[in-house]
Chain A
Amino acid sequence: GNSVTQMEGPVTLSEEAFLTINCTYTATGYPSLFWYVQYPGEGLQLLLKATKADDKGSNKGFEATYRKETTSFHLEKGSVQVSDSAVYFCALSWNNYQLIWGAGTKLIIKP
């Protein structure tokens, strides 16, 4: 069946460090891939998405590339800020519109 695996947290970095949060998936066919972010005490917000192989989603300095050959959708940012501290969820959707969620990765950025 479809599934999403993302790296365990918490991930703790210093401000201006490079960020990578790994996400791999298992799916039949060609799912759409998403990164959602949940700031403390808030709901989920779509961060970026990619709908086909080799697509790159980007937003707020974050990027992720849909790699079908490695079934991955790793989230990256070149220079993180304290305000990026949040929980990040990788997810995929298939033709039934349901989202399959990763477990979430808590990111802590220290000044």
Chain B
Amino acid sequence: SAVISQKPSRDICQRGTSLTIQCQVDSQVTMMFWYRQQPGQSLTLIATANQGSEATYESGFVIDKFPISRPNLTFSTLTVSNMSPEDSSIYLCSGAMMDNYGYTFGSGTRLTVV
């Protein structure tokens, strides 16, 4: 199965700044997703990253706050813009293979906004 390298693994950021999280997959994946996970809770889908086109955002998430890029089938970035303490969370990327059976996750980025 694919392996996803996600970085940074953690960061502490000042409010009002932006952080870009990168995910690199070691093979081509059909779909890539970005999730947020609050401590002790389940995953909330932020958006589906579409190769070569704008991401598809879930309700409650907007492109101005969470711009996403996916220039090719193995790489995606998520930017958390104009951060506030409420953005403190774990952010996870995921890749799905063509056969719909192989979902792989990055190791996550633990973000703390102070």
Contact with A along B41-83 (1 / 0, CB 8 A): 1110100100000000000000000000000000000000000
Tell me which of B40, B48, B101, B105 contacts A43 (CB under 8 A): B105
* A103 on interface, CB distance cutoff 8 Å: yes
Tell me which of A36, A45, A98, A104 contacts B45 (CB under 8 A): A98
Number of chain A interface residues as a range: 20 to 34
Q: Which residues of A contact B33 (CB under 8 A)?
A: 98-99
* A58 on interface, CB distance cutoff 8 Å: no
In the bound complex, what is the Cα–Cα distance between A51 and B6 (angstroms)? Answer: 28
Q: How many contacting A-B pairs (Cβ < 8 A)?
A: 49
Contact B104 A104 (CB under 8 A): no
Known: A43-B108, A44-B92, A98-B48. A93 touches B42 (CB 8 A): no
In the bound complex, what is the Cα–Cα distance between A32 and B102 (angstroms)? Answer: 11
Contact B107 A46 (CB under 8 A): no
Contact B103 A104 (CB under 8 A): no
Q: Which residues of B contact A49 (CB under 8 A)?
A: 101
In the bound complex, what is the Cα–Cα distance between A42 and B10 (angstroms)? Answer: 12
Tell me which of B1, B42, B96, B100 contacts A101 (CB under 8 A): B42
Q: List 7 A-B contacts (CB under 8 A).
A: A42-B108, A43-B108, A44-B43, A93-B96, A98-B48, A99-B103, A102-B42
- Taking A44-B43, A44-B105, A97-B100 as known contacts, 8 extra A-B pairs with beta carbons closer than 8 A to each other, sorted by chain A number, are A43-B107, A95-B100, A97-B30, A99-B45, A99-B94, A103-B41, A104-B41, A106-B40
- Which residues of A are interface residues toward B (Cβ below 8 A)? 32, 34, 36, 42-46, 49, 51, 89, 93, 95, 97-99, 101-104, 106
- Which residues of B are interface residues toward A (Cβ below 8 A)? 1, 6, 30-31, 33, 40-43, 45, 48, 92, 94, 96, 100-101, 103-108
Nearest 6 CB-CB pairs, A to B? A43-B107, A44-B105, A97-B31, A43-B108, A97-B96, A103-B42
